[in-house]
Amino acid sequence: MNIIVVGLSHHTAPVEIREKVAFPQEAMAIPLQQMLQLPSVTEAVIVSTCNRVELYAVSRQEYVATSELKRFLANFHDLAPETLQEHLYSFSGTEAIQHVLRVAASLDSMVIGEPQILGQIKTAYAHACECNAAGVILNRFLRKAFSVAKRVRNETAIASNAVSISFAAVELARKIFDSLENKTVMLIGAGEMCELAAKHFVNNGVSKVLVTNRTFSRAEKLAAEFDGVAVSFDNFQEQLHRVDIVLSSTGAPDYVLSAKKLKEVSKARRYKPMFLIDIAVPRDIDPTANKLDSIYLYDVDDLQGVVQANLKGRQKEAARAELIVAAEVEQFCSWLTTLEVKPTIVALRQQMEQIRQGEVEKTLSNLSGLADKERQAIESMSNAIINKILHHPTHILKQKSSGADGSLYVDATRTLFDLPDAVTSDPDSDETNQ
């Protein structure tokens, strides 16, 4: 069995592409079920964040599965495959394992060491479990990813020096406004990113926080944390003329702020500077608003430059983290191979035994008058022949199972002897032994 990854991220696709293939967190059941309906896919997980969309699958048909997953991603979002082709990447086997462990450890994030991605993968895994989409391999694999991420955070300083998208937003705001004192910020959305941003803004001098959300109770709860004010989502735009900084992160499918409305707000503010940060995917704010005088609009891609300036201290720690990931990749690959070694050996012996029994029965039926002792001798001889034939292949399979190329020997054995697919079962579900 192979682990397959197909996806795109901030490394390969701009926000205009990423927002087109984002999966809504509240409706993961349908895409997960459709993934499982692909002929080559046996297990599935979908990770969808503002910076990446990735499909994790288990398959015995590496190339077929990769092709089907790419087609699924395009078809599900009603896109022509060629629209995504240049932005997609795919990994299988060891490369797929390494990629996912690096993602979970935040080594592939826009902000190296940021903690959000681990929570997002855990959420994706929870959705897959609810839909019975994750089986033995992805269950074990993602638990391994979580433990690797924990090791990296505990054994390196990769998460030191608060660096995040929300912190980058504060850095930009401080460049636009010499000081954040006496400034008012409005949060559109009450999720984790908005909460983190609010903490940074308050710690840097913002005097008033307004919070709006489609669920008013959530807006009230977040506003209370900062002695702020909850605003009804139905009329939050009427409050914008009082706001200096807007941070928006909702799951809305369309813009929640139009350029036309912002033009009106700018006029009402007598064209005092207004800073807007749109970290939603799909975007919340019409990007053409950036052409307006006194309006400064940044999306998640725009924040990357600010983030990079704060990453130098984490680069050295990232090198240490890579060594941890490399060791864990080798360990998991070994487990994954041994998962199929035993069923392969059992299937091979069963096939040989069926052949042996058939040939012995055929031979004995043509030899009448044999004594029981003679019949037993023929049985013993045939058993000895099979055992001698299988001894070396079995030894090699067991020996190679702990190596990087162990899966090649398993696949070759199954192909050469035309063995049926094994029913994969976890021989040891205790993660601590890995």
Would you please indicate which residues are annotated as catalytic (active-site) residues?
A: 50
Strands 274-278 and 295-299: parallel
| Residue 21, token pair as written in the block | 């293939």
